[in-house]
Amino acid sequence: MKVTVKNLGILKQAEFEVGGLTIICGGNNTGKTYATYALYGFLTFWNEAFALALLKTDELEKLFSGGSVKIALEDIKNKSSEIISRACKEYLSYLPTVFAAPSSYFSSSNFTISLDHSEIKAPDDYNSTIGPKRKPTLNIVKRSGEPFLSINIIAKAEDEEIDKGWITHLVNRHILNAVFGGIFVTPFIASAERTGAAIFYRELDFTRNRLLEQMSNREKEIDPSTLLNTYFDKGYALPVNRNVDFVRFLENIAKNESVTARDNSEILTSFGDILGGEYRATKDGLYFVPFKGKVRLKMGESASSVRSLLDVGFYIRHMARPGDILMIDEPELNLHPANQRRMARLLVRLVNAGVRVFITTHSDYILKEFNTLIMLKRGGTAAARVMEEYGYDERELLDAAKVKAYIAQEALIKVDGASRKQRWHTFVPAPIGEYGIEVESFDNTINLMNEIQDELIWG
């Protein structure tokens, strides 16, 4: 999946591919978070808001008259470029919501996604029954080996009316999901603001409830627009809102079991090594219980690292599954260098378990640990000795072919429609060689610090 953004924040034009592990690094204010939020917003828009009429008129008539119709998935696959182009075009009007910013900021923005035809693979099996358990309305199924999707309206009483508009919408959504569901999955994101969300979610709930109370007050006239502007003058970007909502429902989320964690229990052990304890979501609040000691701490009483790991920890334990996209803005947030290295190893474990990981980072420790894992993957006598001596595991080794890495920086590029190259903010692919990922800006900073200290020591 290749993503191209134009005139988005500070980015004039940038392109990146999503791999098993996608890394965007670089200095501050270089567009890393803008690109991350834009991709998250598109995947959310696709799964929650995008609608497209895929059923032909004769297919609809056949469905409603005969109660069943078959849709050739290859026909939909052949229209994939047209469908994705339509979605990207409609998504542009959604950008102000994603970034909680005025629409004028995005008047010249563009966002496109392109797929290789081989990436689009319909699932072997697909089965979904829609409607109340006692009286389902619709069954959509694809059996292994069949090239089509079977759509069936389940038997109903003769005098019972069906909502044709609702059924048409559901069928179109399921066709999209059957063809593109393995690519455009619903993403999970941990924004850089996640530490605050872990503490202030109750205050945000209070603000919302107070707003509703005032709007329902019938004793005096209230201008709703003025009231909304009072409380939501600036608003929050979509990923931040989703982080707050996630924390609100942790008690319910904690009832689920992650497929990835169930099948790879060592991932939970690795996360526990970083956290130094465990989370507990109860009816009376959210707590952190350290492995050492018998205390139970509220989020406001816990270390900043505990708060910054909250979203990722609950996602891994209760939600993660193969095929997911996990996006983390600065996974190194509030972590000691030793834990940043552990975080790199944890992320690679997730990648090797089938979860696609997308990060932005400033951390040389994380990047260097990725490089160690790439070099260990190459094997050899030295690699075997290092793995044994330093406690590395086969499930932590990183295949360089799974990695897509980019440096956000100013570079000489020729933007679409221009006659010559100019310096603009963009993404430059980071070279990935036998020693791992090369990020010159990180190396230059470290080399400069070493030179200064050498000068002070040796004169």
Say which residue, 235 or 45, is predicted with more confidence: 45
pLDDT for residue 251: 86
Model pTM score? 0.87
Rg (CA), the chain: 25
Residue 203 has pLDDT above 60, yes or no: no
Residue 235 has pLDDT above 90, yes or no: no
Residue 298 has pLDDT above 70, yes or no: yes
pLDDT digits (tens, 9 = 90+) for 275-297: 999 998 888 888 999 998 778 89
Separation between Cα atoms, residue 29 and residue 186, nearest integer Å:
27
Least confident range from 106-120, 133-147, 383-397: namely 133-147
- The confidence band for 165, taking pLDDT boundaries of 50, 70 and 90, is confident
Separation between Cα atoms, residue 365 and residue 389, nearest integer Å:
20
- The confidence band for 140, taking pLDDT boundaries of 50, 70 and 90, is confident
| Mean pLDDT of all residues in 349-367 | 96
Separation between Cα atoms, residue 313 and residue 277, nearest integer Å:
11
| Mean pLDDT of all residues in 296-321 | 92
Chain centroid offset of residue 107 CA: 25
Residue 204 has pLDDT above 80, yes or no: no
User: Token digits for 78?
Assistant: 């052949």
For the chain, what percent of residues have pLDDT higher than 90? 54
Separation between Cα atoms, residue 251 and residue 81, nearest integer Å:
41
Separation between Cα atoms, residue 440 and residue 446, nearest integer Å:
10
- The confidence band for 104, taking pLDDT boundaries of 50, 70 and 90, is very high
94: helix, coil or strand?
Answer: helix
Give the torsion sign (CA, 77, 79, 85, 91).
negative
Give the torsion sign (CA, 450, 453, 454, 459).
positive
Least confident range from 192-196, 208-212, 347-351: namely 208-212
pLDDT for residue 230: 43
271: helix, coil or strand?
Answer: helix
Residue 274 has pLDDT above 60, yes or no: yes
Separation between Cα atoms, residue 121 and residue 449, nearest integer Å:
49
For the chain, what percent of residues have pLDDT higher than 70? 88
pLDDT for residue 210: 47
Residue 213 has pLDDT above 60, yes or no: no
| Mean pLDDT of all residues in 286-314 | 90
pLDDT digits (tens, 9 = 90+) for 60-83: 888 888 888 898 888 888 899 999
pLDDT for residue 24: 96
Which range, 207-211, 279-283, 335-339, is most confident?
Answer: 335-339
Residue 47 CB neighbours (<10 A): 17
Under 8 Å between Cβ of 346 and 335: no
46: helix, coil or strand?
Answer: helix
- The confidence band for 158, taking pLDDT boundaries of 50, 70 and 90, is low
Question: What are the sequence ranges of the domains in the chain?
Answer: 211-323
pLDDT for residue 135: 67
pLDDT for residue 249: 87
pLDDT for residue 221: 54
- The confidence band for 229, taking pLDDT boundaries of 50, 70 and 90, is very low
Residue 450 has pLDDT above 60, yes or no: yes
Instruction: Report the DSSP beta bridge partners of residue 111.
Output: 5
pLDDT for residue 93: 94
Nearest to 77 by CA among 173, 180, 210, 164: 180
Q: What is the mean pLDDT of the chain?
A: 87
